[in-house]
Amino acid sequence: MRQSAIFISHGSPMNVIDDNPYTRSLKQLGKTLSKPKAILIISAHWATNESVVSVVDKPETIHDFYGFPDSLYLVRYDAPGEMSASMLLAHLTHARIDRRHGLDHGAWSVLVHLFPDHDVPVFQLSIDLSKPASWHYALGKTLSQLRDQGVMIIGSGNVTHNLSDIEPERDAPVVPWAKEFDTAFADALIDHHEKIINYDLPHFNHAHPTLEHYLPILPILGSQKEDEAITTIYEGFQHATLSMRCFQIG
């Protein structure tokens, strides 16, 4: 069965342990998803200057953040790795194989809500920062082949991500530039992918001073077939400027 491609805005690591409308929406989504053969995660927190695929039998839980409550560092996501699909992806993309990389928090912070039983094999593909946006979008065509083989593709980043412009309070009022960007992005998501690929969105440089949280969007969009709809899973903001918009294809 062809599996879905999903983009998740993951926000603060506190979303792992907080109960809020966003985390409840992910838990509800997980209940509606058909169980995939495996999950491929493209996370903002594994960015390299080449394409790298994790081929690990038992990926460790990486706590790649600082200054949060002790309870957050006790969370483990103990899903197995996926050897055959990861090797196939390495072959299809000519990516380097990494036999040590575990699951960074961009991966496990969303999986704890979507698949809380830790029973679906998981592997990761790094973000290749040396490649242009058009390459990341075209990568989706390759990933579409994995979807046909029962592999769910998840991109994990944020629709907006400027940590120098956030507010401490999770529910602080949304600032105008973030709202304007998110609205334009939502419009382009349906009919104008070229605007997303070309960074032709208002306040883009302010919304993304670096690209690692934006690029995971592109291969998800690129994996869409003509007859597949895009469905918004969640829309809303945290910390005044973080758009938590999530969407699903298929």
Q: Indicate the pLDDT class of residue 87, thresholds 50, 70 and 90.
A: very high
Predicted pLDDT of residue 58 = 96
Number of domains in the chain: 1
Residue 85: strand, helix, or coil = helix
Give the range among 123-127, 189-193, 204-208 with minimum mean pLDDT: 189-193
Q: How confident is the prediction for the chain on average, in pLDDT? A: 97
CATH number of the domain to which 149 belongs: 3.40.830.10
Buried b (16+ CB within 10 A) or exposed e, 96-110: eebeebbbbbbbbbb
Domain that holds residue 118: 5-249
Count the helix, strand and coil residues of the chain and give each as a percent rounded to the nearest 5: 35, 20, 45
* Distances 19 to 32, 110, 173, 241 between C-alpha atoms, Å: 19, 13, 19, 20
Predicted pLDDT of residue 202 = 98
246, 9 Cβ separation under 8 angstroms: yes
Q: Indicate the pLDDT class of residue 173, thresholds 50, 70 and 90.
A: very high
Tell me the pLDDT tens digit for each residue of 50-80: 999 999 999 999 999 999 999 999 999 999 9
Predicted pLDDT of residue 115 = 98
What are the structure tokens assigned to 24, written together? 């409840």
